[in-house]
């Protein structure tokens, strides 16, 4: 299952918002009226991308509409009570057979499940660094990375081994931004996908805890307590 807006004609909280990380384009600032009109927002994004061809960004109307829809659906999941604007169907965040097999080999917290964690993880990554866009200090990300690199739940293979193409594209976008920001740790080559929180660890270790807590599903927390009590997320959540 995936998340998407129930309606593209009914505006979500604060309208339709979109930020193009590659260029710094902010839809609301560039076209204030567009945030209240889905079609106008799509056209504004396409026009911006066509005027910046060196970034080779998608300009197909259908694809841009899907990006705008998913971005705002995930944003609604981060706002208390705004999930009424969201629905779900066959998922771009669906998981591969390999991942399903891995999940079946260990106990999972009661009341858990892949979908809530997948949505929570996607929401964190869609915002990446959260409000303010400031990563945790290098020493903190390094300490987190050391824990993850030696953890038994650090999956084998990169994100493309676990998630289907649309979710992989989301991760690919943020990995590029991570590179541009110079966010690295000595453990990067060892970091893959966490089999509990469902996040690519190369990104997750840089995310401030408030952004993680805002989307941390209770089943993920229970799963960590049962299967990875050494996790830095538990220590930082308790702190």
Closest C-alpha among 60, 51, 62 to residue 22: 51
Q: Write phi, then psi, for 167 (nearest 5 degrees).
A: -65, -40
The residue-averaged pLDDT of 41-57 equals 94
Whether the predicted pLDDT of 104 surpasses 70: no
The pLDDT of 198-218, averaged and rounded, is: 81
Inform me whether the pLDDT recorded for 153 exceeds 60.
yes
Q: How does residue 103 score in pLDDT terms, banded at 50, 70 and 90?
A: very low
> How many Cβ atoms are within 10 Å of 181's Cβ, its own excluded?
14
Q: What is the arithmetic mean of pLDDT over 85-109?
A: 48
Residue 28 has pLDDT above 70, yes or no: yes
Predicted confidence band at 111 (pLDDT cuts at 50, 70, 90)? very low
Higher pLDDT, 148 or 84: 148
Answer yes or no: is pLDDT of 183 > 90: no
Beta-carbon contacts of 66 under 8 Å, excluding residues fewer than 6 positions away, are: none
Query: What integer pLDDT is reported at residue 229 of this predicted model?
Result: 94
More confident residue, 38 or 57: 38
- pLDDT at 102 (0 to 100): 39
Out of 61-65, 93-97, 125-129, the most confident range is 61-65
Query: What number is the average pLDDT over the span 47-61?
Result: 93
**Distance between CA atoms of residues 53 and 7, nearest Å:** 31
CA–CA distance, 53 with 121 (Å, rounded to integer): 31
Which whole-number Å values give the CA distances from 207 to 126, 128, 129, 147, 170, in the listed order?
11, 6, 5, 15, 16
pTM greater than the 0.85 cutoff: no
Q: Among residues 220, 189, 222, 184, which one has the least CA distance to residue 203?
A: 184
């Amino acid at each position: 299952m995936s998340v998407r807006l129930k309606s593209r004609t009914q505006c979500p909280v604060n309208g339709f918002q979109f930020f193009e990380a590659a260029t710094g384009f902010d839809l609301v600032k560039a076209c204030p009226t567009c945030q209240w009109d889905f079609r106008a927002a799509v056209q504004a994004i396409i026009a911006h991308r066509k005027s910046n061809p060196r970034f080779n960004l998608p300009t197909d109307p259908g694809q841009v509409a899907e990006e705008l829809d998913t971005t705002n659906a995930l944003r609604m999941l981060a706002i208390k009570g705004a999930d009424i604007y969201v629905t779900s169907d066959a998922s771009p965040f669906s998981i591969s057979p390999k991942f399903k097999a891995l999940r079946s080999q260990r106990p999972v917290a009661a009341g858990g499940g892949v979908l809530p964690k997948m949505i929570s993880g996607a929401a964190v990554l869609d915002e990446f660094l959260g409000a303010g866009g400031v990563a945790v200090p290098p020493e903190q990300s390094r300490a987190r990375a050391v824990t993850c690199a030696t953890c038994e739940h650090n999956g084998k293979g990169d994100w493309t081994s676990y998630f289907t193409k649309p979710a992989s594209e989301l991760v690919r976008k943020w990995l590029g931004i991570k590179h541009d920001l110079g966010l690295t740790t000595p453990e990067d080559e060892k970091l893959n996908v966490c089999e509990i929180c469902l996040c690519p660890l190369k990104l997750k270790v840089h995310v401030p805890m408030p952004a993680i807590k805002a989307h941390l599903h209770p089943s993920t927390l229970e799963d960590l307590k049962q299967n990875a009590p050494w996790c830095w997320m538990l220590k930082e959540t308790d702190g």
